[in-house]
Structure 1
């Protein structure tokens, strides 16, 4: 099936889920506009996966989403599991364990499904981007610039490396987003690393860009739009207050290539990736959501994953978000169904 047809089928399937279990309160449905901002609306949310298991595996810790070639939804857990979800019911239909070359678990945070069905998995342990087959076999590993490696091998901080991964239109450029700044760069200046390939050849290191996150926030996910721009999720957490999650539209096409610039502190002439706000998720209607810990809006949780599932009849992107519950009883695995005008 062609990718466009797959996306259309998935979007139709997701739109058809109207059961109370999947959709929350009855008024949280696709037929009503629930504005988060002038450009973003929330159709509904689903807690259907919260604190569930599949074939003995905990279904949670979800950090990334992707549309698979067969129209199913892939959901990546940061504890080395990749789930296949039914696009209509969100019910798990399969699970694959992932591991590194020694058989050890990954801190798997980012996911892309390539044109041939290969899974590209970003881990923030080293960090790394590995290629896997559908059944979880390692097929290869992409090079990573030394400065982006975790100290002492590089200048990155543990658990603050590759959080987002996306394939740009055309399928030749892969982009990974660091969660936070590396040592020697200005606070909040996040590096976006790209790889390019020719034809069906391997990905090779390519340009790198600087992205400036809001104060106190890091990048938790990136997703390419059909025109080559990026949806960027920025996220932070304040104990006793809760999560901050903001959605931006970013354009790397005129940014400076920073791959040859060792330190991004007070560097004149460096053009960062331009960004424009789309929505603060705290401004979305709560739609009856509840939270198990303090939140500015009970709808909020630790949102980490995002994918574009298609377009609606008005040309808006259908965007699906997921929160990582960290297998914590005070947090929730929640899926958010957005429409975004870009």
Structure 2
């Protein structure tokens, strides 16, 4: 999502779903923080941070600004695909983060996207959201449009639907097995007074097309917190980022474990008002990133923790010693008071 000041305000049935049951220049300056032990690295009992890197901040590659990152994915060759919200998709070296390639993206008319969510399919094609309409398109690795997925009318931006521009599809992930795709709305649509956001799914059809499937409701902690990213775990649960910004205070970024497998299918519910019988996606706080050690990080604007910035992208890069290796990235909005920063986390979840 592009830079937007979100002021904090004081806020104090259908059948159960079944489809989620697991059916860079060499001269770039690198600033990397480290710590010596898991205890020193702890953000919470479940999450630790190994290091961070500002190596790509305010750099360019092949004439393209490196930054504005909104999503990450692991490609088939192990490299990191990094999507920026101004219509470019980078391939980064997984170890050094240095760019290896950049591919421009556009819609069917050649217009730029507000590209926010990214998932790489089993054949290497890229599923990419744009929050302008919103939309999800399938692209080849060289940026050619292959397909466009249907979107429920209620999730379209007004006046076509009830969503607010710049507050639509942000997170995107393929569930275990690759049969189901899930996209998270960033903020509630008009009429959903409960404060819950919609998570929409699609199921795969012949020819690797996708059709609309169940929808679920997830409630962020506060009205100024949105959902910039989701990532599926092997058992069908999700890692969910909640993120917000308060002018003069800084960012709030929290990581949750969420379980959509017993949530109500809300695709047929016009408005979510907190009505009984609608079971939300259950969630458990894993860590507030403000509680992580600073590791010597500095911030260019007020922050609760100088490590924080506008974190938007997340990907699971592997598993080691019972913990998932999770990479986060911040969107600097090409703004001098923000930083493109990568965060290397280790996350432990209960079975």
Asked whether the two chains share a fold, i.e. TM above 0.5, the reply is yes
The question of whether the paired residues in 2 share the 8 Å contact of 1:164 and 1:178 is answered with yes
1:237 to 237, 245, 262: 245
Secondary structure of the structure 2 residue equivalent to 1:106? coil
Secondary structure of the structure 2 residue equivalent to 1:266? coil
Aligned residues: 321
The question of whether the paired residues in 1 share the 8 Å contact of 2:89 and 2:105 is answered with yes
The question of whether the paired residues in 1 share the 8 Å contact of 2:40 and 2:293 is answered with no
The question of whether the paired residues in 2 share the 8 Å contact of 1:246 and 1:279 is answered with yes
TM-score, normalization by structure 2 = 0.89
> Partner residue of 2:140?
133
> Partner residue of 1:118?
125
> Partner residue of 1:91?
98
TM-score, normalization by structure 1 = 0.91
Unmatched runs of 5 consecutive residues or more in structure 1: 1-19
- Alpha-carbon deviation of 1:252? 0.3
> Partner residue of 1:248?
256
> Partner residue of 1:42?
49
Q: CA RMSD in A?
A: 1.5
Q: Following superposition of structure 1 onto structure 2, how do residues 46-125 of structure 1 map, counting pairs within 5 Å?
A: 46-125=53-132
Unmatched runs of 5 consecutive residues or more in structure 2: 1-27
> Partner residue of 1:10?
none
1:311 aligns with 2:311: no
Secondary structure of the structure 2 residue equivalent to 1:268? coil
- Alpha-carbon deviation of 1:23? 5.6
The question of whether the paired residues in 2 share the 8 Å contact of 1:107 and 1:124 is answered with yes
> Partner residue of 1:267?
275
Q: Following superposition of structure 1 onto structure 2, how do residues 216-227 of structure 1 map, counting pairs within 5 Å?
A: 216-227=224-235
1:177 aligns with 2:192: no
- Alpha-carbon deviation of 1:21? 5.5
Higher relative contact order (CA 8 A, sep 6+): 2
The question of whether the paired residues in 1 share the 8 Å contact of 2:147 and 2:209 is answered with no
The question of whether the paired residues in 2 share the 8 Å contact of 1:23 and 1:29 is answered with no
Flag the 1:270–1:187 CA change in 2: closer, same or farther, 3 A.
Answer: closer
Deviation per CA, 1:251-282: give whole Å up to 9, x if none. 00000000000111132200000000000000
